[in-house]
Structure 1
Amino acid sequence: MSNSEQTLPKAIFLMGPTASGKTELAIRLSEQHNCEIISVDSALIYKGFDIGSAKPNAQEQARAPHALIDILDPSVPYSAADFRKDALALMHDITARGKTPLLVGGTMMYFKALLDGLSPLPKADPKIRQEIEAQADKYGWQWLHDQLKEVDPVAAERIHPNDPQRLSRALEVYRISGKSMTQLTQTVDNDLPFDIVQFAIYPPERSQLHERIELRYKQMLKQGFEQEVRDLYNRGDLHVDMPSIRCVGYRQMWDYIDGNIDYDEMVYRGIVATRQLAKRQMTWLRGWDKLIKLQTPMGENAEQTLALNMKLVVDSLN
């Protein structure tokens, strides 16, 4: 490591699948070791998404405030680029006050955006998207694919004519910026002026994680998850195509309230969807570089495991 790298301020990533025990470890680190928590979770950003997102409760947040929680109405989209900008600003502020940023969550795309940077792609333009859709209705997607071949042959080779979402986005990028998506993705803002130490909590057995997920989902139902989603549903301005309502658990409850499935099916689908999310998170982590593995605190040895995890994280700061 070079001298310049050694002088970078430290920051901690604490990753792991849902229901693996990240929150309690993060809170104790915040209480005992001068860390401040930044949430890395695409559901926790939304106001009113409390029970179904397993958002830290009032007592937990009183012990250790979490940044990037409750920052947006569910009607407002939030991208990985938005997260990167907000998280970097918070990280600089935390280190300027002599503390260590502790980024905690399971939205792996957000962690990756911080580590690897993002291409400077323009934001969606509803007017241009409508123009593209109108052309698709009039001329067909193959005609639009031929248009893409002319301006971005590399993307056209990668995107099938029967993939309207990606095809529309590639054309939209070109029409907004005058540059092809291929050109823009070759330029990445990956400046991350921190010495990142990365941890992930790994459950010892997948079956144990599955049990924890089922137990937690049923606890959410007892805590009033259905009423939480009914309140969102009754607003009238939210729908299933919004990123917020597509969050795991919320989509399944929404379908139940909408009358598409019965209660038992909602419970089953909610648990299955959460397990699938955990599987995707574990798949991300298996290919992650420079990762220090921690164990999930469970059963009689939970406190001992938690203490060991604390020691591993704290030692990394010295």
Structure 2
Amino acid sequence: MGPTAAGKTDAAIALADSFDVELISVDSALVYRGLCIGAAQPDYPHHLIDIRDPADVYTAANFVEDTLSCIADARSRGRRAVLVGGTMMYYRSLIEGLSDMPASDPAIRAEIEAEASRAGWPEMHRELVAVDPDTASSLHPNHSQRISRALEIFRQTGTPMSHWQRAGSQERRAAICVALAPSDRATLHARIEARFDLMLKSGFVEEVKALFERGDLHADLPAIRAVGYRQIWSHLSGECSLEDARDKGIAATRQLAKRQITWLRGWSGLHWINSEAKDGQEQVKNCLRNYLEAPLS
């Protein structure tokens, strides 16, 4: 686990090379085909990368189902799996379980999206505050996907999403959780900026342009709302200059990192490792060594 640009992938690859484990990506952008440069897709093999079209919606429930299948497959080959990535909702859903909430209703979802197109997502967020303040307090006013889902559940059932989540809690799945992050936030901010600029030099705009020119994608899809992608999409839509898109993309990535760190600070039993430490990767290996070297039961 860890914030974006903290070095999680490099540490996981070093772990896989040392212990012959299989890696499972925990990244809500990397599941989509065509999201490579802007999602920092690794060259090393990972499960759950490039498994969905960008026009699809991939949920936390999909992730849990796919991950449990990957873990079972790895064990059938006599290997363990290590999860790596920064989509904290996926981790929580896997470890703490999913509540038995109703399936999505396309008609209600379309109704909410139509209202949002007229009033804006901050106004929809204010509506959510009135009916489900617990969920609303954890969401940014422009986090359209999760605001939409929370309102959809309330309109379907009359029960707030937060109540469903509490009622559906299950026994936690056992997991050894390691967080990799720099001790100095300024260091992380500098890494984020440098990585974003490298993405631009590597063809990030051209990558988003290929998605933009497909004609069947739009800015409200989860794939296009991914950090960095939505800012470049806005530039291609004529809403801002490339320079502004760059600045907004870097700012959005820093905000994402801040949310990830805040989430991790509330995670119990977490092993924190300074990603800037010279022996950081060795510390990761030592945290997991006993588990990875033990015989499969």
Instruction: Calculate the TM-score normalised by the size of structure 1.
Output: 0.76
Aligned length: 270
| 1:48 matched residue in structure 2 | 34
Structure-2 separation of matches of 1:306 and 1:156: 42
Letter in 2 for 1:121: M
Percent identity (aligned): 43
In structure 2, the partner of 1:39 is: 25
Amino acid at match of 1:248: V
1:66 aligns with: 46
Residue 287 (structure 1) aligns with: 266
- Tell me if 1:305 matches 2:291: no
Query: CA-to-partner distance for each residue in 1:35-92, whole Å, 9 max, x for gaps?
Result: 11110000000000000000113xxx2xxx2000000000000111111111112122
**Which of the numbers 107, 110, 133 marks the counterpart of 2:87?**
107
Deviations 1:232-252 (A, max 9, x none): 000011111111111000010
Which of 196, 203, 208 is 1:229 aligned to? 208
- Partner of residue 8, structure 1: none
User: Take 1:159 and 1:270, find their aligned partners in 2: how far apart are those partners?
Assistant: 26
Q: Secondary structure at the match of 2:72?
A: helix
Contact 1:173 1:180 in 2 (8 A): no
Aligned ranges 1:112-123 → 2 under 5 Å: 112-123=92-103
Shift in Å, 1:187: 4.3
**Aligned twin of 1:148:** none
What residue number does 1:170 align with?
153
Structure 2 alignment gaps of length 5 or more: 116-129, 142-146
Seen in structure 2, the aligned counterparts of structure 1 residues 133 and 28 have a Cα distance that, compared at 3 Å, is: closer
TM-score by length of 2: 0.81
- Matching of residues 205-284 of structure 1 within 5 Å: 205-284=184-263
User: Hey, what's the Cα distance between the residues in 2 that align with 1:180 and 1:293?
Assistant: 34
Query: In structure 2, what is the Cα distance between the partners aligned to 1:187 and 1:36?
Result: 34
| Aligned counterpart, 2:118 | none
**What letter corresponds to residue 28 of structure 2 in structure 1?**
S
Asked if 2 retains the 8 angstrom alpha-carbon contact of 1:159 and 1:166, the reply is no
**Which protein has the larger Cα radius of gyration, Structure 1 or Structure 2?**
1
Structure 1: give runs of 5+ residues left out of the alignment: 1-14, 136-153
Deviation track 1:99-125 (CA, whole Å, cap 9, x = no partner) reads: 221010000000000111111112212
- Which one-letter code corresponds to 1:260 in the other structure? E
Match of 2:168 among 188, 192, 197: 188
Structure richer in strand, relative to its length: 1
Contact 1:120 1:189 survives alignment (8 Å): no
1:203 is aligned to 2:182: yes
